[in-house]
Every structure is written in structure tokens, then in C-alpha cells.
């Protein structure tokens, strides 16, 4: 029988050298990941507005929860700004993907929509212009979006949807519903897309809530049940402070059973003064 030669034992110096090499590699990997997370967080902070516009009788609030996996960054956004004619523009949207590329594209969509809204006659035209602008950038990504225009003179809310989840409305007396308005394709898919406009006069006091699918859809329940949960919640709290209502709606996202990012934008409004003439369907 041939006797095997015993293998050379590893010396303490060899073990220390190997341990040092592995430690250096781990430190490099941790530093790289930390740098990527800092970049992602900086991008997210810059992409979302620090302040939302408001008016006497209209308070606004938004909440965002990043994805709980990866770089903690995604393509969901909310925005609010003053238009050249004094009306207020609001948007909520969701870009395909959950990485730095999605966040960068989200910034393009947000700024493109602001630029389009400044010269558009209504939210539908704003979405059409933004869609064509994004297609000219030749990106492989797309985004769903809802854009609102609030007129402080008529107390009228105009809205248009680009493949996005419906909004939720409620009045202060406890009535609530889901705004299943007609819409068009997501932004960045087809050139020349048209987006129908829905007009509502916010006659009674209440709330109008925009959100992304990360709030209402996941393995735990389908989007229909998620929207129904939000509608019940908003109906019960339509008279509450806008910030508290936004935080309460965002808590629904914790129940969906997935790690998607989520955004909520709340418009809490008083009743329209009687002297303002109605143009469009009242929420009453």
C-alpha cells in the first residue's frame, strides 16, 4: 500500500496573510457599497421637492418610502409647483426599475413635465409634450404618471393619467371613491399619445390623494383591495391634517407584502367659496 505524504501544515503567517487579504477585500467592497448608497440617497434627495405649494383653503403634504432592498432608491416621485398663470401643478409617478438609472430617468421625467406644463393648456397636453420629449431622449425606460392642475380661482381640479394607478377622493362627511378616469399609455412608449382630461370642481371640503402602486399592490392583496383600503382610510380621515393623512395612507404600503418604493401626495381642501363659478363636475 502506498502511504500518502502528509500535506504541509499552514503556518500562522500564511493564515494571517490570507486573513489580511480577505479583510482588505471586504473593506473595499463595503466602501464601494457605502459610496453607491450615498450617491443613491443624494440623487433621491435632489429629485424630490423640499417644499410643496399651498394656498389658503388648500394644504398639501407628501410622503415617500424607498424600496427596502438594494440601494434604497427607486423611480417613484411626487412634485408640486406654481404654474405661470398662478395655478398649481402636482404630479405623482413611477419609473420602471429600482436603481440609480431609474432615479436619473425619474429626474428627467419630473423636469420635463414641469417644462411641458408651463406652456400646455391642460394636464393632457402637458403629458403629451412630456411623452414626446422623453422619447426624443432615446431611453429604454418608461414611466407612469398622473398630473393635476388646481385653479385657485374656480376651485377646479383638472387631471390626466399616463398608465398610472387611480387617485382616491373623499369628502369631509365621510364619502369616498376611486377616480377611475380614462387615461393613456405610460410616458416613453409611443409618440403622439393623447391623454384625456377629467375636470372636477372641489365643491365640498375633502381630500384628493395621489399615490403609486407600491402603496396599494403586492403579494398580500391585489391593487383593487389596496385602493379600497386607501379609500376607506381617506374617507374616515378626509378632514384631518394633510401630513397625518399622507402618513396614514403610506402605512398601507407596509401591508402589501413586498419591498417596492411608494409615494403619496395629499391635497386637503376646504369647500369652494360660493362666489366661484362652477366649470365641470362637482365632487358633491
Identify whether the C-beta of residue 283 lies closer than 8 Å to the C-beta of residue 202.
Answer: yes
pLDDT reported for residue 269: 96
The answer to whether 184 touches 178, Cβ cutoff 8 Å, is no
Residues 221-238 have a mean pLDDT of 92
Check whether 65 has a pLDDT greater than 80.
yes
Query: Look-up: residue for cell 396599494?
Result: 216
Q: Is residue 274 classed as helix, strand or coil in its secondary structure? A: coil
Exposure of 178 by Cβ count < 10 A (0-12 exposed, 13-18 middle, 19+ buried)? middle
Q: What local confidence, expressed as pLDDT, does residue 90 receive?
A: 98
The distance between the two most distant Cα atoms of the chain, rounded to a whole number of Å, is 108
pLDDT category, 240, cuts 50, 70, 90? confident
pLDDT at residue 8 tops 80: no
For position 279, what pLDDT does the model report?
44
Q: Using the predicted structure, report yes or no on whether residue 206 has a pLDDT greater than 80.
A: yes
Mean pLDDT for the stretch of residues 69-97: 85
Percent of the chain with pLDDT over 90: 56
Q: Which residues pair with 273 in a beta bridge?
A: none
If we measure between CA atoms, which residue out of 219, 284, 215 comes closest to residue 245? Answer: 215
Mean pLDDT of the chain: 85
pLDDT at 39: 59
Percent of residues in the chain assigned helix, strand, coil, to nearest 5? 35, 25, 40
Convert the pLDDT of each residue in 134-178 to its tens digit.
999 888 889 999 999 999 999 999 999 999 999 999 999 889 999
Name the residue among 179, 183, 161, 158 with its Cα closest to residue 170: 179
d(CA 207, CA 32): 44
- Mean pLDDT over 8-14 rounds to 62
Q: Residue 194's pLDDT is what?
A: 96
d(C-alpha 237, C-alpha 122), whole Å: 30
> b/e per residue, 203-214, with b = 16+ CB within 10 A?
bbbbbbbbbbbb
Handedness of CA 216, 110, 241, 204 (dihedral sign): negative
More confident residue, 272 or 74: 272
pLDDT above 70 coverage of the chain, percent: 80
224-228 LR contacts (CB < 8 Å, sep 24+): 226/252, 226/256, 227/165, 227/166, 227/168, 227/178, 228/178
179 SS3 class: strand
Between 52-56, 226-230, 279-283, the lowest mean confidence (pLDDT) is in 279-283
Cell numbers standing for residue 113: 413635465
What cell numbers appear for 96 in the block?
A: 420602471
**Predicted confidence band of residue 37 (pLDDT cuts 50, 70, 90):** low
pLDDT tens for each residue of 250-282 = 999 888 877 778 899 999 999 998 744 444 455
Amino acid at each position: 500500500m502506498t502511504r500518502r505524504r502528509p500535506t504541509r501544515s499552514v503556518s500562522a503567517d500564511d493564515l494571517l496573510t490570507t486573513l489580511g487579504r480577505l479583510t482588505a477585500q471586504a473593506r473595499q467592497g463595503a466602501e464601494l457599497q457605502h459610496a453607491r448608497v450615498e450617491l443613491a440617497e443624494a440623487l433621491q434627495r435632489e429629485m424630490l421637492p423640499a417644499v410643496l405649494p399651498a394656498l389658503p383653503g388648500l394644504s398639501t403634504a407628501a410622503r415617500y418610502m424607498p424600496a427596502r432592498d438594494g440601494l434604497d432608491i427607486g423611480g417613484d416621485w411626487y412634485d408640486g409647483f406654481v404654474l405661470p398663470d398662478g395655478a398649481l401643478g402636482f404630479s405623482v409617478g413611477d419609473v420602471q426599475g429600482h436603481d440609480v438609472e431609474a432615479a436619473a430617468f425619474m429626474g428627467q421625467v419630473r423636469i420635463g413635465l414641469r417644462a411641458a406644463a408651463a406652456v400646455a393648456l391642460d394636464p393632457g397636453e402637458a403629458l403629451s409634450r412630456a411623452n414626446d420629449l422623453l422619447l426624443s431622449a432615446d431611453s429604454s425606460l418608461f414611466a407612469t404618471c398622473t398630473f393635476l392642475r388646481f385653479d385657485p380661482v374656480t376651485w377646479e381640479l383638472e387631471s390626466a393619467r399616463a398608465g398610472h394607478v387611480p387617485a382616491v377622493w373623499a369628502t369631509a362627511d365621510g364619502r369616498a371613491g376611486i377616480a377611475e378616469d380614462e387615461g393613456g399609455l405610460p410616458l416613453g412608449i409611443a409618440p403622439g399619445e393623447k391623454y384625456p382630461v377629467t375636470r372636477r370642481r372641489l365643491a365640498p371640503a375633502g381630500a384628493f390623494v395621489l399615490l403609486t402602486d407600491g402603496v396599494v399592490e403586492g403579494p398580500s392583496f391585489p391593487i383593487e383591495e389596496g385602493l379600497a383600503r386607501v379609500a376607506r382610510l381617506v374617507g374616515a380621515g378626509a378632514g384631518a391634517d394633510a401630513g397625518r393623512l399622507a402618513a396614514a395612507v403610506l402605512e398601507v404600503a407596509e401591508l402589501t407584502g413586498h419591498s417596492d418604493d411608494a409615494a403619496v401626495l395629499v391635497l386637503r381642501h376646504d369647500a369652494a367659496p360660493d362666489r366661484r363659478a362652477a366649470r365641470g363636475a362637482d365632487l358633491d
